[in-house]
Structure 1
Amino acid sequence: MKIWGRANSINVQKVLWTADECGLKYERIDVGGAFGGNDKPWYLKMNPNGIVPTIDDGGRVIWESNSCVRYLAAKYAAGTLWPNDPGQRSEADRWMDWQLSVIARGMGIIFWGLIRTAPDKRDMKAIDEAVAETGQLWARLDGHLADRPYVAGGHLTMGDIPAGCMAYRWFALDIKRPELKNLRAWHDRLATRPGYAQHIMIKMT
């Protein structure tokens, strides 16, 4: 299996962590960001959007990070990362979609503002507003986790992976966060997993 994408991309990190949870061997190839290549014809032939990640699993090419996570979970971790029960799987799916449609915007403002913008060019008003708004959104997941250790129930599923990647940034960034005990406990459980520690808990650049 080949995985194209730079290691500091949160979308690539989702796929690397999933692959590790599945026990897969793979080759990761640096593409995107400072490495470039994602605008080249050979890459656009695989992924017409020109973004990362892209995976090639024996000739099957998949792009869009959450789609990659679902594919790997369904093929290589059915019954664990990919719940067999449709109801439990729908919970995992919902929180994957929530990461993209609800929490990603504010987290993007905070991350890009504090990590990828020079201090003298930061819009601190926009960053502070995003922190306040995003804290309220994380509180929704905190409430959901009040009676369960993982988003879809008693064990790790694909539903934990996208939001789990963003949770590391939420807790690692130098911001004033509301105290969300269930969210913190969930993050700390994720942090015990080798793939999370290796691919997610890295220096943010």
Structure 2
Amino acid sequence: MSIFPASFRRRCRLVVGCLLVVAGLFGTVHAVRAAIAQRLYLKTKYGFSGGVIDPVEKTEAAVEVARRAHAADRLYPHNYYFPSYAARRALTEASAARSSEDFRDALAGAQFFAKRAVALNPYDGESRMLHALAMAEDGRVREAIDYWREAVIAREYWSEANHEFLARLCLRSRDPEDLEAAADELPFARDPELRTKLLRLRKQLGK
């Protein structure tokens, strides 16, 4: 026999039932928001083709990608792939900019989204690379090199691709120490063009 009266037990069951309903509704809303955000990301990056739905081209214009990335982030702020894609598109437009104003605007977008992507997942390779590239494009080559060494090389020293990227960053610098560091990455370089540059640099440095 229960020590609690029947009326109390009924109230407890009612409260628990209400809590379960609220939790279920919250979960449903969260799932719907995440699904809408994911669909927006896939539509933007890949587009749709085939089937009964009219084909939709992927979106590459940095401004439109940024607008959609912001919209998706408001719905579900955990998808680091979308800001990473937005950063990549912005960097592409910055490199092709025909005016300093267009370059600054595109680069600002790249920096914002790359930083956002790294904040969401500091171990995603593409996001880290875009973050470093955005800093380098902004003239902060030393900061980009330090970031790559501390955040990537220190943890994933075994990756030849990481060392190749470090060499490319160091080649952007005019600091003799950075150029020496770039030349030291030759053993890790597998890209033929990069190896040629590093071999030429080593000769210039007398190594």
TM-score (normalised: structure 2): 0.27
Structure showing greater relative contact order (alpha-carbon pairs closer than 8 Å, 6 or more residues apart)? 1
**Higher Cα Rg, which structure:** 2
The answer to which structure has the higher strand fraction is: 1
Q: Which has the higher helix share?
A: 2
